[in-house]
Amino acid sequence: MKQDPETQEPQNDQTGPLARRLAALPSWLSEGLGIGLPSILLLVIAFYAAFQFVEPAPPRHLTILAGSKGGTYSLMAARYREALAKSDIAVTIVETAGSQDNLERLATSDPDDAIIAFVQAGVAPPIDAPKPLEALASLYFEPAWLFLRDDVKIQDVRDLEALTVAIGAAGSGSRALAAELYRLNGLPVPDTALSHLSGNEAVTALILGQVDAVFTVGGAPSQDIDDLLHQDGVTLFSLPRAAAYARKFGYVRALDLPEGAVDLARNIPAQNTRLIGTTAQLVARRDLHPALVDRLLMVANTIHDQAGLFETAGQFPSPYMLSLPLNDEAARFHRRGPSFLQRILPFWAATMLDRWLVMALPLLTLLIPLLRIVPPLYSWRIKARISRPYKALRAIEKRAAHQDIHRDKALAELDAIEKGLGTLSVPPTHAGELYALKFHIQMLRDSLGEPKKKKPHTQNPEATETAKS
């Protein structure tokens, strides 16, 4: 004998607590969770995937490899340090032997350190460098200056073979370019102790007559070069075949120094002088943080875009006249300039927003379609729940039309359908459709001829009195 459902003992609930809680929710809310939770999960996965492509925050400390103390690179590094301090970037300046030394240190530096270097174009990095080195920009011309004692007369670079020439210390850019000029002219590169003199030592040796000439490369005018330009008994040599040397090297230009350009009052130089010049490059490892690349180039723009002794306004910094590959981020900067955020916000705020945008853009591309798809999908699911009983109503209606069902049984089925609607919860936006379903059930019930409940009869008091009389 079957137990009445009302008195039937409850069976052990095999569902978990989470399932029971979800089952207790209104049906329309559980539908929303059924659609919303997968959408949220999809967004979380997209966020995680986008996060893998976000650069870490840029370092707050930068090391600059400069040249010898008091040289052009050292003075330039001090200007960069001052400018970068405004962006809360601390800078350490390291004195070195020069461009070659800078490249070797940069190539073997700790990958976790942010390091840049000023390097003369044409100086080659070590062949076995473990880290690829790239240029961010050329910054200014670095003329090659050949100073002679007044009593020394030469016609061409080839005449230097018979002279004692200080061409710079090992590892310096001056020595590297001098060695190229010697080789191009078929001369042996000098390797005496005096030939390795540089800076103030070379200036002193020339004045004292210990060397016949000094060959140096540097921006105009560094202190040593300015001292030699103003030194009595010293002459600046004008290079006869400057254009030919420029044709040999893509990073070399023939430069003209007009008469009196250095000092009009003393008319220095005393005549138009032809020089050759390479460029100073800003060099870094390929893995330098892109935000630092942008900030360094913004600083370079403020320092190097003015006219100089050999430069025209706006000529530098430049992506040209380089002897190293151009960094990809630097190439983008040279084409488009700093980003909108970098122009209007402080460095760290712009960097933080840039990193957020990298994560936000993929999420937005996914979120916008979801916002367009999820609401209609949710509405469709709710409508489907409301519309499901219509199939049963249609079946009852057809069977009744063909007299395949007894009226009482049909009415009982309608009662069961209507009872089921009592447990159907819909959001207020779809309440109209639920009431329409109930109205249609009542219409079908009326069409089946359901007996209407009689209203209790209330006798008219006046009619009662009339009947009695």
Residue 36 has pLDDT above 70, yes or no: no
Which amino acid would we find at residue 302? T
> Structural domain tally of the chain?
2
In order, the DSSP letters of 104-127 are HHHHTS-TTS-EEEEEETTPPPPT
Residue 442 lies in a domain: yes
For 410-468, the pLDDT digits (tens) are 888 888 887 877 667 677 777 788 788 888 888 888 887 755 444 455 555 554 454 45
Helical segments of 151-289, H only: 173-184, 199-207, 223-229, 242-248
Question: From CA 223, how far away is CA 159, in angstroms rounded?
Answer: 28
Domain residues for the domain of 434 are 388-452
Task: Read off φ and ψ for residue 318, nearest 5 degrees.
Answer: -135, 150
Does residue 396 share a domain with residue 306? Answer: no
Q: Which residue has the higher pLDDT, 337 or 419?
A: 337
Residue type, 4: D
Exposure string over 402-428, b if 16+ CB within 10 A, otherwise e: eeebeeeebbebbeebeeeeeebebee
Out of 267-281, 301-315, 360-374, pick the least confident.
Answer: 360-374
pTM of the predicted structure, to 2 decimals? 0.66
DSSP structure string for 207-223 = HTTSSSEEEEE-STT-H
Residue-averaged pLDDT of the chain: 82
- What is the pLDDT averaged over residues 187-214? 94
Identify the residue with better confidence: 231 or 355. 231
Examine residue 34 and state whether it is found in any structural domain, yes or no. Answer: no
* pLDDT on residue 299: 95
**pLDDT score for 125:** 86
Q: How confident is the model at residue 11 (pLDDT cuts 50, 70, 90)?
A: very low
Instruction: Label the pairing between strands 165-166 and 213-217.
Output: parallel
CA distances from 254 to 228, 242, 245, 247, 257 (A): 21, 5, 8, 9, 10
Residue 243 forms part of a structural domain: yes
If 0-12 CB within 10 Å is exposed, 13-18 middle and 19+ buried, where does residue 356 land? exposed
CATH number assigned to the domain comprising residue 238: 3.40.190.10
Angle at which helices 17-24 and 27-51 cross, to 10°: 120
Length in residues, the chain:
469
CA 351 to chain centroid: 8
> ω before 389 within 30° of 0 (cis)?
no
Residue 377, token pair as written in the block: 């999908």
Kindly state whether residues 315 and 425 are assigned to the same domain: no
Does 247 map to a domain?
Answer: yes
- For residues 107 and 178, membership in a common domain is answered with yes
In a domain, 419, yes or no: yes
The pLDDT value given to residue 261? 94
| pLDDT tens figures, 207-221 | 999 999 999 998 866
Residue located via tokens 């539908």: 31
Pair 208, 313 in one domain: yes
Residue 348's CB is within 10 A of a number of other CB atoms, namely 15
What's the average model confidence in pLDDT over 33-37?
A: 57
Same domain for 328 and 438, yes or no, is: no
On whether residue 224 sits in a domain, the answer given is: yes
Nearest to 385 by CA among 430, 419, 428: 430
Does 222 share its domain with 322? yes
Give the pair of three-digit tokens for residue 260.
Answer: 């009196």
Q: Residue 381: inside a domain, yes or no?
A: no
The confidence score (pLDDT) of residue 438 equals: 81
Residue 39 is predicted with a pLDDT of 60
Q: In Å, how far from its chain's centre is CA 272?
A: 48
Query: Do 317 and 396 reside in the same domain of the chain?
Result: no
Alpha helices in 52-188 (DSSP H): 72-85, 99-107, 173-184
Q: What share of the chain is helix, strand, coil (3-state, %, to 5)?
A: 50, 15, 40
Query: How far, CA to CA in Å, does 251 sit from each of 22, 76, 215, 219, 269?
Result: 72, 20, 19, 15, 25
467 within a domain of the structure (yes/no): no
- The answer on 392 and 297 residing in a single domain is no
Q: How many CA atoms are closer than 13 Å to the CA of 365, on its beta-carbon side?
A: 8
